[in-house]
Amino acid sequence: MQTQRASMRRTGTATYVTGQETAQRILDEARRLFMEDGHGKLTMRRIAKAAGMSPGNLSYYYPTRADLLADLLQYVIDGYIRQLQTLRDEASDDADEQFRAVLGFVFNDLATRETTLFFPELWVLANRDDWIAQQMEKMYAQYRAILVDVIGLINPTLDETRRSDLALMISASIEGHTVFVGHGRPHRARAGQLRNLLIEHFLRLVKDTGGPRSADGTKDR
Partner DNA sequence: AATGAATGAGCGTTCATTCAT
Partner DNA sequence: TATGAATGAACGCTCATTCAT
Which segment (2-10, 67-75, 152-160, 211-219) binds a copy of itself by CB under 8 A?
A: 211-219
Q: Considering only residues 193, 210, 212, 213, which one is a binding residue for a copy of itself as defined by CB under 8 A?
A: 193
Per CB under 7 A, 128 contacts DNA:
no
- What binding mask, one character per residue, do residues 161-180 give for a copy of itself by CB under 8 A, x or -? ----xx-xx-xxxxxxxxxx
- What binding mask, one character per residue, do residues 95-134 give for a copy of itself by CB under 8 A, x or -? ---------x-----------xx--xx-xx-xxx----x-
Q: Considering only residues 12, 33, 116, 202, which one is a binding residue for DNA as defined by CB under 7 A?
A: 12
- What binding mask, one character per residue, do residues 12-41 give for a copy of itself by CB under 8 A, x or -? -------------------------xxxx-
156 binds, among a copy of itself, DNA, none (CB under 5 to 8 A by kind): none
Give, as one character, the DSSP assignment of residue 190. Answer: G
Cβ atoms of 165 and 158 within 8 Å: the answer is: no
Cβ atoms of 12 and 59 within 8 Å: the answer is: no
Map residue 37 onto helix, strand or coil.
helix
**Can you say how many angstroms the Cα of residue 138 is from the centroid of all Cα atoms in its chain?**
10
HSE of 129, CA atoms in CB hemisphere, 13 A? 15
Query: Which of 12/182 has CB closer to DNA?
Result: 12
2 binds, among DNA, a copy of itself, none (CB under 5 to 8 A by kind): none
Q: At a CB cut-off of 8 Å and minimum separation 6, what does 169 contact?
A: none
Q: Write the single-letter amino acid at 137.
A: E
- CA atoms of 204 and 154, how far apart (whole Å): 10
